[in-house]
Structures are given as structure tokens and as C-alpha cells.
A and B are shown apart, each in its own frame.
Chain A
Amino acid sequence: MTLTLNATEDPTVLDENGNRIPVGAALVSPDAESATPKLWLQNLSLKYKTTGGERMLALDSIDLKVRAGEFLCIVGPSGCGKSTLLFLIAGLHEPTSGAVLMDGKKVIHTGTDRIMIFQEHGLFPWLTVEENVEFGLKMKGVEKKLRRERVREYLNLVHLGKFQKSYIHQLSGGMKQRVAIARALATEPDVLLMDEPFAALDAQTRDLLHDELERIWAETGRTIIFVTHNVREAVRLGDRVAVLTFRPGRLKREYLIDLPRPRHLEDTAVAGTARDILGDLREEINKSLAVEYQQ
């Protein structure tokens, strides 16, 4: 069953309805239901200067609340600013207006409580797998013995315990993304920001990583914001799917996904829900294509 909410409605409606989510709700700690959401994107807008010198509105008044432990997926056509939204949450970019609140506090800088996983993994080729995973902990000043333990723990979590001494180029695409996940988790962030992390992988590897990510999410109880252009992937993973419009990126609609977990990409219910959302998204994709053909 899918529940559709209009984004312009008061977002607190979502919190009340949150009780209806059967599996995701089990991961939410009791205080997460209280007034402060884990993340609150408050009226976020971002303008930037194009190479032509004109100012373009990339994101327009995005208002979104994310519960602790929630798996939120954001879909939209390419160029709608969904990655930019993650950069804002990560503190890598600054919004033109509005704010990102984390546990009620305004986000100003990057911080290891919000770790990003990039599409092109962003692993450091000059470090071994183990040293990559260790990196965030080292920056945090965690002592060496504890670092080693954590690295081992998280590499085992992504089934790469045997590859700790390998260099990045020796790994396959799927393994690289697993290292990136381990590296992000090792700093024990509250929020994981995933920017189309599986887009460059083949279908089989992606399938496998969906299962793993769902398992890791259930085991660690992290809040995940997952950006993708693949609606089916969003429905397969998310407690909620937010659709963004094309230029400027606005919140078009949100869908609560209360399908039972574990899900699978090929489930008919997943496919059906994805089709409903895709109908909504198609409009935006057409707009983006029109612009592309003009250029």
C-alpha cells in the first residue's frame, strides 16, 4: 500500500503517519518521535553563477524532515540538484538561504556525523583499503588500537576482511563501493548521505549491494538519505521517496513506502509502486530532456 502526501502540506503529518510503517518504525528510537527530527532541511534554496554569469536557481525552498533511523530516497531527473542537496547537508556547499538543522542545531561545516558516499567512490588511491577505512577515525583523533578494531569490524561488515592490505585499483567496482560504505560507517555517523552510489555498477552487483545496504541499515540503525535517478531502486530501499522537480529543484511529492522488508527489486509490489511514482517523475524527465535537446 502506498500513501501519497503533498509536499506543501505541513510536514508534521509525516511524523504522525510514521507509526504506520511496519519495519522502519521498529528501528526508530522512542525520542526520535519527538518534535526535533534528526535532520530538518528548512526552506533550503541555492543559487549559483553559471559560466555565462547569470544566476541560476538550483534548489528552491526545499523543506523536508527526516526521522532518526529513516531511509529516505530522493529521486529526480538528472540536473535537478539532488546531489547538490546532499552537498548542502554534508556542509560541503553553503545554501543561499534556509538552513540544515541536525538534531535542532544548524549545520555550518562538514562533520563526521554526516558522511557522504559518492558515485565515483572517492576512495584514496594512495592508501590501502584498511588505511582508507581508518582515515576518518584518524582525523577524529581516535587512538590507534581502537582504530584498528573498528576498521576490522566494518570491513567484516561489508565482507572485505581479507582485502585490508589491498590497494584500491586492485578491487572491482562493487568492492570499491563496499569499502566506501565501510569508510563512511567507521566514523559512526548519524546520517549517511549516498549520492547514486550504485549507478556505475552492473545489475547483479547492485542487487547484492541493495541487500547488504538494507541489512547494514537494519543492524546499525543509521539514518540514510539516498539519492538516485532509479525509481525502482528508491522504492526497493526507502521508507519514503521524495520526488524533486527539474530546474529549479522543488519538492514535488513524497511517497511513504510501507511494503514489508526485506524487499526485492523484482517484487511486483515494488514494481507497481515504482510505476506510480514514475508517472509523476516522467513529467520532470520530459522537461529535462527538452532542455537537453535545445542545447
Chain B
Amino acid sequence: MKPIARQVIFYGVIFGLWSLICKLHIWPPYVLPAPWAIVEALWAGFQDHSFPIAILASMRRMLIGYGISVVLGTFLGIVLASNRFFEQTVSGLLVSLQSLPSICWLPLAVLWFGLSENAILFVIVMGSLLSVTISMETGRKQMPKIYSMAGRNLGARKWNLFYHVLLPASMPYIVTGLKQGWAFAWRSLFAGEMIYVTLGLGQQLNAGRDLNDMNLVIAVMILIIAIGTTVDRLLFRTIEKRLQMKWGLLSAT
């Protein structure tokens, strides 16, 4: 049986069981809405443009926050990997800070930036910056020395050495970091968006809660999962696969 067939059966069974339970009226619909009610809510959301607007607003924040993380994290990672003092001090601190869930930055963000766009961006950056930084640093450190020696030997210096040797040599680590960073940023985004009334999917979730609209709540959750998975599959998995094929880390399937 093909994997896709297994998946169709798996989701078919879930949908069937869910429908069955709803038909039996064990729980009232505001606790467990029927799947078709969710589909209707999704349809309505796209009809009145509230979902597309929310998605655009969230994605815009996401791109800005993640963008800051990538630029800053890349820079920080390189600095950390090339300086013994920072490596022995700042690196340890960063690893400790990573044990702090990004939602814990929220109160601090509100006190610093008020109920503003910047507070949300701050939470996104704090959520994803560390994993980008750490994997960038790991990549630079774990990279086999022979690549940089061979590069220097063949006449690469400074910028050329960095751009043509060090950067591609640590690419497997960097991609892992970028992917992880994206996932963390995605989680932090919705934590941030629930702090005050913004456009965005996080606020749609909050609206669902306030209006006691369970259909809306689950519809938005499904949207968040769908977008997150799509980006992961289409963007990061594709890049990872191509890299692994090139490097021979993955046998051709």
C-alpha cells in the first residue's frame, strides 16, 4: 500500500469517528462541533475575507520577526564561533535562555513596548533567535577543518573563504537552524498575537473564545496547522532534501 493511501484511510477514519460521535450527541456542539460545521466556518471566514486578512497580517509579522532573527542570529553565531571568550561565556547563556518558553517573554515585552506591534515582534525574535544563533555557531565549529584548509590552500581568503567555503560547509547545520527557528517563531507569533486586538490569526482565535464560537476556534487552529505544515514541507524539507542529495547524506529514494 502506498503511503498516500494509508494517509487517506487514516484521516478518513478520524473524520468518520468524529462525525459518528457528533451524531450520537454525547457532547453539546459548543463543546465538540461537528466536522461539517468547521468546514462551514472555514468557508465563511474566507467568504467574508476575515481569514485572508488575518493570514496576511500574521505572515507579515512572521516575516519581519523571523527575518530579524535570521540576520541577527547569523551574525551572532559567526561572532560566537570565532571568539574564544564569547564561546565560553555567551554560548552557555544562550543555551540556558533557550530553556525559557517564548511565551514567558510576553509580560516583559508588554512592560517594555506596551501593547504594540513591537511587543509581538520582540516575542517572535526571542523565540527564534536563539536556535538560529546556536545552530549557526555549531555549524561553524563542527565543520571539518579540512574544508577551510583546502579552501585557504586553493587561494580563498577572507570574504571568499567565508562565502565559498565556510558558509556552504556549514550549510547542513544552518538549514536545520533556520527550520527550527521558523518553527519556534511560528509558535511565538500566536502567543504574541493574543496579547491585544490585532488583525491576525491569533486574534481570530481570541475572538472565537470571546464569542463562545467553538467552530471558529477549531477552524483557526486547523489553518495554523495547515500553513505551518505547508511551509515546512514545501520550503524547508525541499531545501534539506536537495542538500542531502548533493552531499550524499541521503541515498536517492
Shortest C-beta distance, A164 to chain B (Å), equals: 15
Asked whether B154 lies within 8 Å of A115 as measured between CB atoms, the reply is yes
- Tell me whether B86 is interfacial, beta carbon within 8 Å: no
Asked whether B165 lies within 8 Å of A124 as measured between CB atoms, the reply is yes
Task: List residues of chain A with CB within 8 A of the CB of B151.
Answer: 124, 135
The segment from A165-173, A218-226, A283-291 found at the interface with B is A165-173
Task: List residues of chain B with CB within 8 A of the CB of A123.
Answer: 150
- Tell me whether B155 is interfacial, beta carbon within 8 Å: yes
- Tell me whether B168 is interfacial, beta carbon within 8 Å: yes
Tally of contact residues, B, Cβ under 8 A: 20
Q: Which of B147, B156, B169, B247 interacts with A139 by CB under 8 Å?
A: B156
A169 — nearest CB in chain B belongs to which residue? B248
- Tell me whether A112 is interfacial, beta carbon within 8 Å: yes
- Tell me whether A37 is interfacial, beta carbon within 8 Å: no
Asked whether B247 lies within 8 Å of A136 as measured between CB atoms, the reply is no
Task: List residues of chain A with CB within 8 A of the CB of B169.
Answer: 124, 126
Asked whether A110 lies within 8 Å of B247 as measured between CB atoms, the reply is no
Asked whether B147 lies within 8 Å of A92 as measured between CB atoms, the reply is no
* Complex Cα spacing A135 to B149, Å: 14
B243 — nearest CB in chain A belongs to which residue? A126
- Knowing A167-B246, A167-B248, A168-B248, the reply to whether A122 touches B146 (Cβ < 8 A) is yes
Shortest C-beta distance, B9 to chain A (Å), equals: 37
- Chain A, interface size category, equals 20 to 34
Task: List residues of chain B with CB within 8 A of the CB of A125.
Answer: 246-248
- Tell me if B's interface is mostly helix, strand, loop or mixed: helix
- Tell me whether A67 is interfacial, beta carbon within 8 Å: no
Asked whether B154 lies within 8 Å of A187 as measured between CB atoms, the reply is yes
Q: Kindly identify, within residues 110 to 130 of chain A, every residue whose CB is under 8 Å from any CB belonging to chain B.
A: 110-112, 115-116, 118, 120, 122-127
Q: Which of B155, B171, B248 interacts with A136 by CB under 8 Å?
A: B155
- Tell me whether A183 is interfacial, beta carbon within 8 Å: yes
- Tell me whether B153 is interfacial, beta carbon within 8 Å: yes
Q: Kindly identify, within residues 138 to 152 of chain B, every residue whose CB is under 8 Å from any CB belonging to chain A.
A: 146-147, 149-152
Q: Which of B152, B168, B243 interacts with A110 by CB under 8 Å?
A: B152
- Tell me whether A140 is interfacial, beta carbon within 8 Å: yes
Q: How many A-B residue pairs have CB under 8 A?
A: 63
Asked whether B153 lies within 8 Å of A92 as measured between CB atoms, the reply is yes
Most buried by B among A112, A125, A167: A125
- Tell me whether A151 is interfacial, beta carbon within 8 Å: no
- Tell me whether B164 is interfacial, beta carbon within 8 Å: yes
Task: List residues of chain B with CB within 8 A of the CB of A118.
Answer: 146, 149-150
Asked whether A139 lies within 8 Å of B154 as measured between CB atoms, the reply is yes
Asked whether B146 lies within 8 Å of A120 as measured between CB atoms, the reply is yes
- Knowing A118-B146, A124-B168, the reply to whether A183 touches B154 (Cβ < 8 A) is yes
* Complex Cα spacing A111 to B156, Å: 9
* Complex Cα spacing A147 to B20, Å: 69
* Complex Cα spacing A150 to B147, Å: 23
B248 — nearest CB in chain A belongs to which residue? A169
- Tell me whether A90 is interfacial, beta carbon within 8 Å: yes
B146 — nearest CB in chain A belongs to which residue? A122
Asked whether B150 lies within 8 Å of A124 as measured between CB atoms, the reply is yes
Shortest C-beta distance, A213 to chain B (Å), equals: 19
Task: List residues of chain A with CB within 8 A of the CB of B243.
Answer: 126
Task: List residues of chain A with CB within 8 A of the CB of B164.
Answer: 135, 138-139
Most buried by B among A92, A118, A124: A124
Q: Which of B149, B156, B248 interacts with A170 by CB under 8 Å?
A: B248
* Complex Cα spacing A82 to B242, Å: 39
Shortest C-beta distance, A110 to chain B (Å), equals: 5
* Complex Cα spacing A286 to B165, Å: 40
The contact string, 1 if C-beta is below 8 Å from chain A, for chain B 1-41, is 00000000000000000000000000000000000000000
Q: Which of A92, A127, A169 interacts with B152 by CB under 8 Å?
A: A92
* Complex Cα spacing A115 to B164, Å: 18
**8 tightest A-B CB contacts, nearest first:** A169-B248, A122-B150, A139-B155, A136-B154, A126-B168, A112-B155, A122-B146, A125-B247
Q: Can you pick out 19 interface pairs between chain A and chain B where the beta carbons lie within 8 Å of each other?
A: A92-B149, A110-B155, A115-B153, A115-B154, A118-B149, A123-B150, A124-B150, A125-B248, A126-B171, A126-B243, A126-B246, A126-B247, A135-B151, A139-B154, A139-B164, A168-B248, A170-B248, A187-B154, A187-B155
